[in-house]
Amino acid sequence: CSSLLNGRTSKRNPDGSLSLPNENLSKLKGDVMYHLALDNLNFDLPALYGDVKFVVMGGTKYRMREFACYVAELLGLPKDPKSVNHTKASQRFAMYKIGPVLSVSHGIGIPSMTTVLQELIKVMFYAKAKDPIFIRLGTSGGLGIPPGSVVVSSFGLSGTLEKTYELPVLGVIRKWPSYLDKRLSEELVCSASNFDEFKTYVAGTMGADDFYRGQGRLDGPLCDYSEADKMAYLDKLASLGVKNIEMEANAFAAITGEAGVRASIACVTLVDRLQGDQITTPKTVLKEWQKYPMQVVGALIKNYVERK
Ligand code: R2B
Ligand code: URA
């Protein structure tokens, strides 16, 4: 596979650093990234994060610490010496830095994820990081594929079956396209070909606003549709090229796209939603499966570091 990591979009400066279109930022005396407990007056962001190439995000603090340790081992770097959680003061999320990699938790769902994502984009902007790549590592429910498979997302689909991210802004519903970087996903698939333990698919991913009814489940505390309705919905998703459902994909795709950062999503599937709703696989097995997207992204990062 060839290296495709140096693509550009028009939103970046010639040196690859981000050029954000929000003119209000230049009028601020200082900018506080509140949920990361960082700001650009008291922290030397270029010195701290100017060398970051990969911002890897995932739901839980635990998983993102594990990913940081895994990357340290892979790159032969010391494990985050004092287990430094760079955002500890925020008491919200966790952020670890290993060489050119930031490993950051984002919680569950679009509002939590987009809050951290937008602050991380600003950190990369102030740090003048060159061509930073954003990747979400996640878990999901699969559609007609074996649990324990990896899906690299080509687009995010909204709960209303559009390839968009919808947000009410100033009282009006706005929509942005939710496609991910094609070449980066090809690179991830190429990395995945190093592993035989799991299958990897490139497909659409639905970003639902809820785990239960929002994903057509029958097992929530509230349910007002039939099993036939659920199956018709899941079949419709599958016919639109969707192979997995999680809770962030369309927003992650849209915000990174609008900000001009290259991005991809690699999720493991924990259940085949065409077979059931509950995740009954033992925790030990789930923990093993959650390593699969880490291995895929880890291989991509190692390849980049070795070629540099
Ligand atoms: C996948 O798993 C979480 C819900 O269990 C959510 O963050 C997601 O996208
Ligand atoms: N995460 C989700 O959002 N849905 C699933 O079915 C599994 C994990």
Q: Please tell me if the CB atom of residue 247 comes closer than 6 angstroms to any atom of ligand 1.
A: yes
pLDDT tens for residues 148-188?
999 999 999 999 999 999 999 999 999 999 999 999 999 99
What distance in angstroms lies between residue 174's CA and the mean position of ligand 2's atoms? 26
Identify the residue whose C-alpha is closest to ligand 2 atom 6.
141
Cα dist from 244 to 1, 32, 141, 149, 172, whole Å: 26, 35, 5, 10, 29
Nearest Cα neighbor of 157 from 140, 177, 185, 129 is 177
Inform me whether the pLDDT recorded for 7 exceeds 70: no
CB 68 within 8 A of CB 61: no
- Higher pLDDT: 243 or 85? It is 243
CB 292 within 8 A of CB 150: yes
Q: Which atom of ligand 1 is nearest to the CA of 246?
A: 9
CA–CA distance, 291 with 70 (Å, rounded to integer): 9
Identify the residue whose C-alpha is closest to ligand 2 atom 8.
140
Treating both helix axes as pointing N-terminal to C-terminal, what angle do 283-307 and 182-192 enclose, rounded to 10 degrees?
A: 110
Cα dist from 255 to 144, 152, 246, whole Å: 29, 18, 17
Q: Provide the token pair at 181.
A: 């970087």
In this prediction, residue 101 carries a pLDDT of: 96
What distance in angstroms lies between residue 286's CA and the mean position of ligand 1's atoms? 13
Task: Label each residue of 195-206 as H, E or C.
Answer: CCCCCEEEEEEE
pLDDT tens for residues 101-141?
999 999 999 999 999 999 999 999 999 999 999 999 999 99
DSSP state, 160? T
CA–CA distance, 261 with 101 (Å, rounded to integer): 15
3-state secondary structure of 305: helix
Identify the residue whose C-alpha is closest to ligand 1 atom 4.
108
CA–CA distance, 95 with 28 (Å, rounded to integer): 25
CB 67 within 8 A of CB 56: yes
Phi, psi (deg, nearest 5) at residue 28? -75, 140
The model's pTM: 0.96
> Looking at the chain, how many residues does it have?
308
What distance in angstroms lies between residue 143's CA and the mean position of ligand 1's atoms? 15
Inform me whether the pLDDT recorded for 74 exceeds 90: yes
Enumerate residues lining ligand 2, CB below 6 A: 139-141, 211, 215, 245-247, 270-271
CA–CA distance, 206 with 265 (Å, rounded to integer): 12
Determine the residue of 215, 230, 233 to mutate for testing ligand 2's pocket, defined as the one with the most ligand atoms within 8 A of the Cβ atom. Answer: 215
Q: Please tell me if the CB atom of residue 207 comes closer than 6 angstroms to any atom of ligand 1.
A: no
Identify the residue whose C-alpha is closest to ligand 2 atom 1.
140
Angle at 201 between CA 197 and CA 203, to 5 degrees: 155
Determine the residue of 110, 112, 139, 143 to mutate for testing ligand 2's pocket, defined as the one with the most ligand atoms within 8 A of the Cβ atom. Answer: 139
What distance in angstroms lies between residue 76's CA and the mean position of ligand 1's atoms? 31
Q: Please tell me if the CB atom of residue 211 comes closer than 6 angstroms to any atom of ligand 1.
A: yes
In this prediction, residue 88 carries a pLDDT of: 82
Q: Which atom of ligand 1 is nearest to the CA of 248?
A: 9
Q: Which ligand is nearest to the CA of 234?
A: 2
Inform me whether the pLDDT recorded for 4 exceeds 60: no
ipTM beyond cut 0.85? yes
DSSP state, 248? S
**Mean pLDDT value across the chain:** 94
Q: 231 Cβ partners below 8 Å, 6+ apart?
A: 274
Q: Provide the token pair at 96.
A: 């670890």
- What is the tally of helices (H) and strands (E) in the chain? 8, 12
